[in-house]
Amino acid sequence: RGVYGPPAGKKMVLFIDDLNMPLKEYYGAQPPIEILRQGMDATAYPATGGWYDRKDSQHPFRSITDVLFFASMGPPGGGRAFITPRILGMFYLAGFPLLDDDNMSQIFTTILDWRFRVENYPGDIAALSKKIVQATLEIYKNTSQELLPTPMKVHYTFNLRDFAKVVFGIMLLKKGECDGVGRHIRLWAHEINRVFGDRLVDDGDRRWMLTQLRDQTKKVFSASFDELCGHLDANQDGKVDTLDEVRTLFFGDMLSPAQLPKRPYAECPDVSMLQQEIEGHLAAHNEQSNKPMDLVCFLYMLEHLSRVARVIKTPGGNALLVGVGGSGRQSAAKLASFLADFVVYQVEITRGYDQTAFREDVKKLLTNSGGKGEKHVFLFSDSQIKSEGFVEDLNNLLNAGEIPNLFAADERVQLCEMVRAAARQEGKATEGTPTQLYAYFVDRCRKMLATVLCFSPIGDAWRSRLRQFPSLVNCCTIDWFTEWPSDALTAVAQKFLGSVEMEDSVRMSCVTMCSLFHSATTDLAKVFKEQLKRICYATPTSFLELIQTFKMLLAEKRKQVADLKDKYQNGVEKILTTEESVAGMKVELIALQPKLVAKNTEVEEMMVKVNAESEKTNKVKEVVAADEAVAAESAAKSEAQKADVEADLAEAMPALQNALAALDTLTAKDIGEIKAMGNPPGPVKLVLHAVCIMKGIKPARVKDDTGKMVEDWWGPSKKMVSESDFLKSLQTYDKDSIPPPTIKKIQTTFLDQEDFQPDRVMKVSKACWGICMWVRAMETYDRVAKVVGPKKEALAVAEAELAVVMAKLNEKRAELQKVLDALAALEAQLQGLNDEKADLAYQVDLCEKKINRAEALIESLGGEKGRWTENAKVLAVDYTNLTGDVIVSSGVLAYLGAFTPEFRESCVKGWCTESKERSIPGSEDFSVAVILGEPVKIRNWTICGLPNDAFSIENGIIVDKSRRWPLCIDPQGQANKWIKKMEAPSKIMVKKFTDADYMRRLEGAISFGTPMLIENLLEETDPAIEPVLLKQTYPKGNTLMIKIGDSTLEWSRNFKLYLTTKMRNPHYLPEIAVKVTLLNFMITQVGLQDQLLNIVVEKERPELAEEKARLVVEGAENKAALENAENKILYVLKNSSGNILEDESAINILSESKALANNIAAKQEIAEATEKEIDEARLGYVPVAFQAAVLFFCIADLANIDPMYQYSLPFFVGLFLAAIDKAEKSDELEERIGILNDTFRYTLYCNICRSLFERHKTLFSFLLCMRGLLASDEEDYSDYRFLLTGGVSLDDPPPKPADWIPDRCWGELFRLSKIHSRYTDFHTRFAQELDIWREVYDNTTPMSIIKSPGRRPKVMQGLNSLQDVMVLRCIRPDRVVPAILDFIMEKIGEKYVVPPPFDLSGSYADSNNLSPLIFILSPGADPGSTLYKFAAEKNRDMASISLGQGQGPKAEKLMDKAREEGTWVLLQNCHLATSWMPKLDRILEETDPKKTNPSFRLWLTSYPSNKFPVAILQNGVKMTNEPPKGLRANMTGSYYMDPLPKEEFFEACTNEPAFKRLVFCLCFFHAVIQERRLFGPLGWNISYEFTENDLRISARQLMMFLDDYPDETPIAALNYLTGECNYGGRVTEAMDRRLLATLLKKYYCIEALQDDFELFNAGGDGPVYRPPPPGGHEAHLEHIASLPLVSPPGVFGFHENANLTKEMGETYNMMQELLLTAASGGSSGGAGPDEVVGDISRDVLARLPKAWNLTKVQEVYPTMYEESMNTVLLQELTRFNGLIKVIDSSLKDIQKAIKGLLLMSSQLEGAFFEIFDGKTPAMWIKHSYPSLKPLGGYVNDLIERLKFFQGWIDNGTPVNFWFSGIYFQQAFTTGASQNFARRYSIPIDTLDFDFFYPKDQSPTVKPEDGVFAYGMYFEACKWDWDAWQMAESDAKVLFVSVPLIHFMPCEKAKKRNFPCYDCPCYKISTRKGVLSTTGHSTNFVMPIKVPSDVEQEHWIRRGVAMLTSLDT
């Protein structure tokens, strides 16, 4: 039990590939290898090795037995690590060297020879095998040596698989395709290019490969490459030596019909023919596919298609297609698969798609390929990688053809059965065992499945995946998709634009412009990234989108303009025609009047004649009518008789017809049957007997059996039947003349007999049945005919009589007709006269009406004639200009959506210029809004909330016109709001990807045609909606369908999809960007200003705002109505046929429409005049809107500084509205505007400040101030830019005029002189006043000199306040921040430099039950206690949870409960639960206010995190509660801290005076220790998080002790509790504890109770800090407010120099952060990373000595009892050897990696980029002594240290030790102590050091005891060489050297006591360290006593220390 292994008696082999691939974790272990070792290690885990069972709660050990472990690994380096000796010792090692040339030649020559021999290739081809292999070998070796993998070309690795691919490619050309040696050599060149050349990334490498091909062709094949490939010589120079020429060398099977089973691999000599064939294949593909591809078969496409097709054709071939999204990778793969008759298989990524789902898909694929034998291409892109496990599985699939453990045991059995028959048929798996069958299945998978991977080279994932999964390179043929070359762009544009109607020259210019747009956008994207850190891409898909958009828009606009022009022209023509015809119509009317009178007379005369003729005719009519009545009666009688006869005949005729039809069915064969009957049945005899009777045939007389004579009817019957015309005689039988006896005999003898019944006869003879039916029919006919005969006779008589009557009648009818004809002639004559009369009357009436209509038309439309004529002319010009306008507009739509207004504007301007230069007709002033916009639609957009600025309107047009769905970058929610309102009438659906039902809703929207908005996108879309983004529809009948996942839906043409993201700067990779139209919808200043103007006017002048809103809507309606009216008029004019004056309804419509238009126009004119008046009134408030818009962008840019500084536009607008309400009223507009501006600015300042860290509050104030000044042009942006950057110039400054001027200062002064003419020669003029500038440089308040009227330098004359600060930045950067504070106070007031105190209740008042309150944490901030207290005050229960792993569901339950009950929830440390935060975002967004208790509040705390949801930050109330910046602000905050503001606390102490003074000192102490943190290590070694709680408990203890001890003040106890417990409890470092106690002792002392006590006195004119005089809480606050805003460093115990570092750091940090709020400049040029790092590596390796031979050193310096320094030396050398080894190996590996000899590991890659950045690599520091030096300083320092030890080795133990150069100083001091202890036999633990400072600083003799050491530095003090003791630092000198020290060991009891300072010595300036395994600190060395005549506390407060190493 508990032992596992294979079946008994068997061994199992476990093979582990790439054993050293697992990455080392932080401590250097490789957990997978350690687990493996545990399974093998029978010694450590007896007796067999094994593993612990983690699934069992007891974790029992499971032994593994009978397993043999085999492993393989590549040489360490690159992605492969060194494995530990422990695992190495478990294996027998076997090396596999690379094959030598002979072996490789032998292998591949044998393969080729075999193939050529078996296939019987021609002899000259077979003879090439050795040459082909030799040439390939040379290429393979040269490529492996020259084209090496670098960090930028990680896939440049080649192995024998690549060699084999070339050889197998040669074998693809069958014998039948051979055409001499030349074709095979070309084939070899082609295959070399496919295997080795297609992965190359740049033209330099490709040219090198072409050179190799040319050289090897000549060298090995003894042939000329130029002659062999002469047909490729495009430039006709006799050489084929360019990449463009060799591109057209094609071999493949693409010339064969698609999907044939055997498609020969052949040369494609003619590219145009190949192109035609591929176009045919593409058409065939599109006919068969429901996803047709619209591709252009240009050369670039053919190249990549042929490459993929070749790989798929090769059995077991796999391809890795590398390129950005949209470059054609998948299209090439799909078409190549179609050609090879492979089915493309792609996984469909859905929501929740994971490793399990991926494996299920792969199982299905492998089952189809390996099990069913179906040919598949597995097409997989890196955008589908949801887990790196996918790539791991693909790596295995590529390498082995299977994925380990993919199939369960039962599934494997099924697979084996599936392939059993196929295996048997192929003669494989002969034994049929599961192992054999499964191996056959895997082999079949490799043959039937081709994997095509589409990866993007953008980002780090590409490199890391190739490093981690080597099979991606080793097992794939790589095809690198470069940017589309210019010929590709041109070919595509030419094809698509070829059908567009335009001149050829213009078309070629348009093609050129399209290419230009693509390349220009690519360049623009680079600048965009450099300046704004925003990334976007120009991909081939964008190019295709450009062309399709151009075609679509050009056709649309041409039709639109042409139609409108035609309408105008037609309208003008109608008006002109009408004007011309009026005079003619009047003449015509006069001529018509007399004709009409004459015609009336003629008509009256004719009427008399017609009446007379009518009377005569009527008489004739009466006679004829009487005769017709008689004739009608006779005819009726005859008809009745005839009907009776026909009725009787109807009975007999059907029977007769049936009988004749039955006879017709009889054949000679049937009659023959009757004749053949020897003894016929009775019915046959009887029937024929009846026929004999009918035909009158007599019977024969024969004897019967008795001899009696009887009648025999059969003989005659038979004779009758034998007659040839027997049947005919029956058919022609005279049925009307049958003798009555015959009929009677038939009736009596036959009809009733049973044998004569048809059914009976039918049973015996079909022929007789027909004859029987005939006989019976004759009987029926005869019977009926007897009845019908008499009736026929009577009918004949009646018909004869009728004929006589009708003859007489017809005579009379003829007479009547004559009369009628005469009458008709007269009537016709009369009608003609009447018609002429009516026509004349009509013409007169029409002429009158036409004259009236013409006058009406001229009156109504005459005024339009001029306008329409002008419009038509303008439209004609516009039509011509459309080409240029539309192509630029299309470029904007396709490429520029993601760019900001400035970039878009500059790019469009350049494009317009280029378009004009290329003679493309276009408008002078280009505007997308004018060209593509529709004014009425745009007006509606603005009403729906689209900002009314050009940029936003352009965005709206792009949304409206783009072919792809828009993805709006919309941090302020403008697009979101606009889309929702615009599409509200269409019932838009709004969802997020995180919504559970979003996919169902999307499917519904697609089917029903409703718009859908998916908001709050992150940087990835859901792959499930890819078909929707790509609009992958297909026709089915008359409808379009789309397949989404498993659902097939009907696609409604009304469906629209919008996507928006709130991210400010998302990075959408090309794979996403190509599927959508990216739009930058960030609000612009103009657009926001317009919105804010509306708001302020609405608040200040509501009546104006209301009227304006009404007019805007009315104006939009009026303009729409006017447009409709004009369109209606033009439509009627256009569609009226003939003369419009004849169309009364048309004239009426025109008159009504024009009247309506005039009415509307009049209204609109009034409305516009009113609107103009309103706008003039509104303009008065523009300054308010302008400043507010400027301020919004101030706060929006804060997010660039810290990701938590997110503010929404609604929040900003809310503050704006509140400020308007709060602002003091005034009737004077100008005064009111000033009040509004100041109120809002300060309201915004206060609100934003509460969410800013202290270090950013001054920055924010300055930003508010400067943005306002810049916006109003009061300051110059170039000045501001210089202040932030210090200037940019490539010129070197001249030599500086004085040594005291820092280099940086002089450089900045020189650059200042370059930025503007006002600063010309500034540095020169500066040098002329060095005395005054030296004074400025040395003064503590330099600005006072610069500003002083009497002392101001001349060079500063005429400069303003900002320019003063600029100069101050150059000369005294440490004083810039105070100067900025003064500048702010000067410009906008003092209140902007005093941030408001923390106000929790105010923040709470601004919140509601839907908006969370967010504490942004900083070190030391703990809002918990304050919040609990506040909850208690508000009488609210509060539940709290600290977030982390698994805490999310608990937090959700707490929130659900609190929402119901109205309690509060505190979620702490949100930054630790970043994965759960999106869910919290969703919960908050979906919260229903109606179901949420109004008292509910959600409180969050979080450190800054860029993963924190933006929506929560924007909608929440943010707060920071860190100690305020500055001593005064800090103390103010402390006095507002609970419980100090409460009177019952502050005034309650029994010893009130002492309490108030001491509590002031306590707050002062609290502020000092907080502020000291700003000074870095000088203030505290470790930056402790002292909190309000420390102060609060100390204050409470103070009151308690003073109340308990009224007679004395227990200072000692208070010091202990406060210093050691409350504050000291968190202090871990000994020197910091010393400092804390020292500081507290100064403020918490008895002296503090005395009236003359001073906390600090700066001396001279400096400030004095004292406790406040007696008074209450307000008096204390007033006293604090009187303290200086900027405290001198002495207040905190520091020297003035301390401010230098701190304040310079503050200045540069502020400038750097301010720079983040402005666009950055361009990038600098220079050498690339490879070159720079390579040079540095070579330099360092050249200077770095070799490691020491410790054995030899030990021989010279053996371990001796008497000399411990020998041991110290060896230990030091050992440490340095380790460091040298790491540096040496890493640099050599980097050099190899740069050359491509190995792949970089992630650690090595990190070192590479650190070296490039000038930093010391982390991997060196890990093995090094502590150092903060940059790379150059570190290397120099290391070399000096190594020289010191080499000198020690060479020259013996030194007299003076370089203390700083020693790696481990503690060992050195221990060695010195040990020597002393051994010499004097004193226990070493009783020793300590005494320190002497010999006057002889260069001794040449060793001291008798101890050691001399030098090389340390003082920080915060100096050495007074005169007084021989420490002293205060010189101004601006931060570090000084420490004199030589004599380290003298001595017994602790005998140490000297002298005035000194116990100076801590640290290795580096951070001072902070951790305890190492030796028990020593990694930084602190030891305390060193330094002589001093000043009390030690002074130096402790100063922060004085020694350092062994500086930072530079």
Contact of 5 with 42, CB cutoff 8 Å: no
User: In terms of pLDDT, which residue wins out, 352 or 1721?
Assistant: 352
907/921 Cα distance (integer angstroms): 19
**Given this model, what pLDDT does residue 833 score?**
72
Q: At 1833, is the secondary structure helix, strand, or coil?
A: helix
Question: Is the pLDDT at 848 greater than 90, yes or no?
Answer: no
**Given this model, what pLDDT does residue 1143 score?**
60
**Least trusted range by pLDDT, from 121-130, 727-736, 1206-1215, 1486-1495:** 727-736
585/844 Cα distance (integer angstroms): 10
Q: What is the mean pLDDT of residues 327-332?
A: 88
Contact of 207 with 243, CB cutoff 8 Å: yes
Question: Is the pLDDT at 581 greater than 80, yes or no?
Answer: no
User: In terms of pLDDT, which residue wins out, 1677 or 593?
Assistant: 1677
**Least trusted range by pLDDT, from 143-152, 266-275, 574-583, 1500-1509:** 574-583
Token pair listed for 547: 């062309």
**Given this model, what pLDDT does residue 336 score?**
92
181-215, pLDDT tens digit by residue?
889 999 999 999 999 999 998 888 899 999 999 99
Question: Is the pLDDT at 579 greater than 70, yes or no?
Answer: no
**Given this model, what pLDDT does residue 645 score?**
65
Question: Is the pLDDT at 823 greater than 80, yes or no?
Answer: no
Model confidence at 1122, in pLDDT bands (50, 70, 90)?
low
Contact of 465 with 381, CB cutoff 8 Å: no
Chain mean pLDDT for the chain:
85
Q: H-type helices in 696-750, by residue range?
A: 714-722, 726-731, 740-745
**Given this model, what pLDDT does residue 590 score?**
64
Q: What is the mean pLDDT of residues 1338-1353?
A: 88
Model confidence at 244, in pLDDT bands (50, 70, 90)?
confident
Which range scores top for mean pLDDT: 236-240, 692-696, 1247-1251?
1247-1251
Model confidence at 1594, in pLDDT bands (50, 70, 90)?
very high
**Given this model, what pLDDT does residue 1726 score?**
46
Measured at the CA of 1811, the angle between CA 1806 and CA 1813, to 5 degrees, comes to: 95
Convert 1218-1245 to b/e letters by CB count within 10 Å (16 or more is b).
ebbeebeeeeeeeebbebbbbbbbbbbb
Question: Is the pLDDT at 1562 greater than 60, yes or no?
Answer: yes
**Given this model, what pLDDT does residue 1797 score?**
61
Convert 1067-1084 to b/e letters by CB count within 10 Å (16 or more is b).
ebbbbbbbbbbbbbbbbb
Q: How far is CA 28 from CA 83, 684, 843, in A?
A: 10, 116, 111
Model confidence at 1634, in pLDDT bands (50, 70, 90)?
very high
Model confidence at 416, in pLDDT bands (50, 70, 90)?
very high
1667/1457 Cα distance (integer angstroms): 50
User: In terms of pLDDT, which residue wins out, 413 or 1133?
Assistant: 413
Identify the helix (H) or strand (E) that includes residue 63: strand 61-64
1721-1758, pLDDT tens digit by residue?
433 344 557 788 888 899 999 999 999 999 999 999 99
Question: Is the pLDDT at 1132 greater than 70, yes or no?
Answer: no
Convert 1678-1693 to b/e letters by CB count within 10 Å (16 or more is b).
ebbeebebbbbbbbbb
User: In terms of pLDDT, which residue wins out, 138 or 830?
Assistant: 138
Q: What is the mean pLDDT of residues 88-94?
A: 88
Question: Is the pLDDT at 1966 greater than 50, yes or no?
Answer: yes
**Given this model, what pLDDT does residue 1964 score?**
92
Share of the chain above pLDDT 90, in %: 32
Contact of 299 with 487, CB cutoff 8 Å: yes
**Given this model, what pLDDT does residue 292 score?**
83
150/152 Cα distance (integer angstroms): 5
**Given this model, what pLDDT does residue 26 score?**
66
Measured N-to-C along each axis, helices 1229-1249 and 1254-1271 cross at an angle, to the nearest 10 degrees, of 150
User: In terms of pLDDT, which residue wins out, 1753 or 1168?
Assistant: 1753
Question: Is the pLDDT at 1798 greater than 70, yes or no?
Answer: no
**Given this model, what pLDDT does residue 1441 score?**
92
Q: What is the mean pLDDT of residues 646-665?
A: 67
**Given this model, what pLDDT does residue 1961 score?**
96
**Given this model, what pLDDT does residue 1511 score?**
85
91/414 Cα distance (integer angstroms): 37
**Given this model, what pLDDT does residue 1724 score?**
39
Q: At 322, is the secondary structure helix, strand, or coil?
A: strand
Q: What is the mean pLDDT of residues 562-587?
A: 72
Share of the chain above pLDDT 70, in %: 91
**Least trusted range by pLDDT, from 586-600, 1379-1393, 1704-1718:** 586-600
Token pair listed for 1763: 């000399």
- The rounded radius of gyration (Å) of the Cα atoms in the chain is 53
1215-1264, pLDDT tens digit by residue?
999 898 888 888 888 888 999 999 999 999 999 999 998 889 999 999 99
**Given this model, what pLDDT does residue 1341 score?**
85
**Least trusted range by pLDDT, from 480-489, 824-833, 1631-1640, 1828-1837:** 824-833
1530-1544, pLDDT tens digit by residue?
899 889 888 888 888
DSSP string of 1835-1854, one letter each residue: HHHHHHHHHHHHHHHHH-S-
User: In terms of pLDDT, which residue wins out, 661 or 1878?
Assistant: 1878
1000-1027, pLDDT tens digit by residue?
999 999 999 999 999 988 888 888 888 8
Q: What is the mean pLDDT of residues 980-991?
A: 93
**Given this model, what pLDDT does residue 187 score?**
93
Contact of 920 with 509, CB cutoff 8 Å: yes
Q: What is the mean pLDDT of residues 490-505?
A: 85
Question: Is the pLDDT at 877 greater than 80, yes or no?
Answer: yes
432/142 Cα distance (integer angstroms): 47
Question: Is the pLDDT at 286 greater than 80, yes or no?
Answer: yes
**Given this model, what pLDDT does residue 445 score?**
92
Contact of 1943 with 1962, CB cutoff 8 Å: no
**Least trusted range by pLDDT, from 531-545, 709-723, 792-806, 1354-1368:** 792-806
The residue among 319, 330, 326 whose CA lies nearest residue 198 is 319
Q: What's the one-letter identity of residue 269?
A: P
Contact of 1001 with 1027, CB cutoff 8 Å: no
**Given this model, what pLDDT does residue 1721 score?**
43
Q: What's the one-letter identity of residue 309?
A: A
Burial of 149 (0-12, 13-18, 19+ CB in 10 A): buried
**Given this model, what pLDDT does residue 1720 score?**
46
